[in-house]
Chain A
Amino acid sequence: AQSVTQLGSHVSVSEGALVLLRCNYSSSVPPYLFWYVQYPNQGLQLLLKYTTGATLVKGINGFEAEFKKSETSFHLTKPSAHMSDAAEYFCAVSGGSGYSTLTFGKGTMLLVSP
């Protein structure tokens, strides 16, 4: 079984500041890890994913995340926030066997102020 914990239901940053969204996971098998973004009134869009190989993965819009097995974490970062980054971000884990079910965290709303 898998589970995901996202710390902080809301994170506020100023435009140009570092974005850090935290995600910890639990999995009984080597996980596949994902970050999805949801803009208002839209569906879920994949930001980035980790399956195997390099633990630092880069995604769209300047986001990246690092898989740390020892810490069971997959935190999402972006060096400089932009107003357009304001959205809800979901961390998700699957069982690592291709099409295992995705288990989502509760989401973190990112607020960006000018």
Chain B
Amino acid sequence: EPEVTQTPSHQVTQMGQEVILRCVPISNHLYFYWYRQILGQKVEFLVSFYNNEISEKSEIFDDQFSVERPDGSNFTLKIRSTKLEDSAMYFCAMGGPGVTGELFFGEGSRLTVL
């Protein structure tokens, strides 16, 4: 049974539109991550979030991306103005407590930008 729930499972949007992907932890995790997987490519790190702030981000995570945890529960990834190349599977992941390095992944949100 997954520990992380992601919504929506699939979203189709027009280029230039804003998209918000949501992640709801089931257990009490402390560290939050977003990864993406473009079709046929490897899973890439986007951003990590701890104690209500970004702790690390990749070069992919430019100004069009943002993350927040608005209500202390949901963890969201916002893409302000989607581009065709943003089409990918976006995975939320969580870790903690304990120092093991293991992450628990959601089932992913597939974003298709037309």
Contacts and interface: CB of A to CB of B under 8 A. Distances in A.
A and B pair up: yes
Interface of A: 32, 34, 36, 41-46, 49, 51, 90, 92, 94, 96-107
A44 to B, nearest CB: 4
Given A99-B96, A101-B48, A44 B43 contact: yes
B95 A99 contact: yes
Main secondary structure of the interface of B (DSSP, over half): strand
B90 to A, nearest CB: 11
A43 B101 contact: no
Interface string B72-114: 0000000000000000000101011001111111111000000
A42 B35 CA distance: 14
A94 B100 CA distance: 10
Given A43-B106, A99-B31, A32 B43 contact: no
Interface of B: 2, 4, 6, 31, 33, 35, 41-45, 48, 50, 56, 91, 93, 95-96, 99-108
A99 B42 contact: no
A105 B105 contact: no
Given A46-B102, A90-B43, A99 B107 contact: no
A100 B42 contact: no
A104 B56 contact: no
Nearest to B107: A43
A97 B31 CA distance: 13
Given A99-B31, A102-B45, A42 B107 contact: yes
